[in-house]
Structures are given as structure tokens and as C-alpha cells.
């Protein structure tokens, strides 16, 4: 490599590092997108996301952001290293960060399809019965659901009916990324 080519490449890499330093990628349920989505109950996606990500007194924690990213940290780190290497070789910073955003978003979305990679607690008996029956119309329905056997519900349930955190798909489809 000639000194001129080396200098030009070094300057390009320095410029890329300066751009990387000023930019980042945000992954999750972003306020800019989530405000457009509201459930029939009136709850917005950010409320539902927070309740499930951190848990409440009545909703068990089913982390779809932090836990999957911690669990898949080695794969995510490897992908980031590859993309940053490509940026230093000339790929646009925004494109490299965008690819990282897609990769990490897919990790979070995969949590919905795998029950949190097998780490989320199962539905309660009541939730399982309500999903099977199409909802509760009275307190009696809820009481009856609590008495029934969970295994019987799973045997009778249609495919996908008992998927954790997937009812309408609104929360799952709200996980996205943004290069900032």
C-alpha cells in the first residue's frame, strides 16, 4: 500500500470513527412509534411493554428486551464487531448501525416466538382458560377458569392460542429500532 493510499484510508477510518462516536442505535418499544398503537382496553403499548418487561404485582416479568439481549450477548457482540469492521472498511455508518438495529430487534422478537427462550413463566390457569374460551363475561367465568386444569387447556387449545405475550401481536410488532 502506498503512503498516499494508507493516508487516505486512515483518514476515512478516522472520519467513520468520529461518526460512530456521534451516533447510536436505539432498540425497543420506541415512544415515537408506540404512541400510534393503543389496545382496545385503552392501554397504550408503552404501558403494556413496561408492565411485561419489569412485571407488576399482578403480571409476571416477561422481559423481551433486556433478558434476550443479555442471553444473546455473545452473538450480538460478534455481529457488532463485524459491522463496525465493515464501517471502518467503508460501509456507511448509518447502514452499519441499521443492520445492528435489525439484528438486535430480531433477538427481541424471537423472545415472543420462544416464550422468552424458554425462560418466561407460563400463563396462569385463569389466563389459559380465558384465552381458550374467548374471554370472561363474569366473575363466575373467572372462578371456573381458576378451577380447571392447565394441561386440559393446552390439549384443547388451537395452535398458537397459548403463546405468551401474543394475543393481537401489537406488542411484538412494536419492537423496532432507530439510528440516532
Element housing 96 (H / E): helix 93-113
Confidence of residue 179 (pLDDT cuts 50, 70, 90): very high
Q: Is residue 8 part of a domain?
A: no
Give the separation between CA 145 and CA 155, rounded to whole angstroms: 15
Q: Are 178 and 25 in contact (CB under 8 A)?
A: yes
Q: Is residue 2 part of a domain?
A: no
pLDDT for the residue numbered 99: 98
pLDDT for the residue numbered 36: 74
Give the separation between CA 79 and CA 99, rounded to whole angstroms: 9
Place of cell 436505539: 26
Q: Is residue 57 part of a domain?
A: yes
Average pLDDT over residues 33-57: 84
Q: How many domains does the chain have?
A: 2
**Looking at the predicted structure, is the pLDDT value of residue 142 above 50?**
no
Burial of 31 (0-12, 13-18, 19+ CB in 10 A): exposed
144 CB-near residues (< 8 Å, 6+ apart) = 129
Q: Is residue 41 part of a domain?
A: yes
Confidence of residue 78 (pLDDT cuts 50, 70, 90): very high
Domain boundaries, position 128: 122-171
Give the residue, 41 or 57, on which the prediction is more confident.
57
**Looking at the predicted structure, is the pLDDT value of residue 134 above 90?**
no
Q: What is the largest CA-CA distance in the chain?
A: 82
One domain for residues 52 and 141: no
Amino acid at each position: 500500500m502506498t503512503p498516499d493510499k494508507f493516508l487516505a484510508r486512515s483518514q476515512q477510518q478516522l472520519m467513520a470513527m468520529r461518526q460512530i462516536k456521534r451516533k447510536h442505535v436505539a432498540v425497543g418499544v420506541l415512544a415515537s412509534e408506540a404512541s400510534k398503537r393503543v389496545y382496545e382496553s385503552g392501554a397504550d403499548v408503552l404501558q403494556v411493554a413496561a408492565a411485561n418487561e419489569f412485571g407488576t404485582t399482578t403480571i409476571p416479568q416477561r422481559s423481551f428486551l433486556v433478558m434476550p439481549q443479555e442471553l444473546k450477548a455473545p452473538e450480538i457482540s460478534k455481529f457488532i464487531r463485524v459491522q463496525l469492521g465493515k464501517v471502518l472498511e467503508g460501509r456507511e455508518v448509518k447502514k452499519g448501525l441499521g443492520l445492528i438495529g435489525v439484528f438486535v430487534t430480531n433477538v427481541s422478537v424471537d423472545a415472543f416466538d420462544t416464550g422468552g427462550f424458554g425462560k418466561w413463566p407460563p400463563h396462569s390457569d385463569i389466563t389459559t382458560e380465558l384465552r381458550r374460551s374467548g374471554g370472561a363475561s363474569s366473575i363466575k367465568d373467572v372462578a371456573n377458569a381458576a378451577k380447571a386444569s392447565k394441561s386440559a387447556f393446552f390439549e384443547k387449545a388451537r395452535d398458537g392460542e397459548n403463546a405468551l405475550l401474543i394475543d393481537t401481536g401489537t406488542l411484538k410488532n412494536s419492537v423496532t429500532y432507530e439510528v440516532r
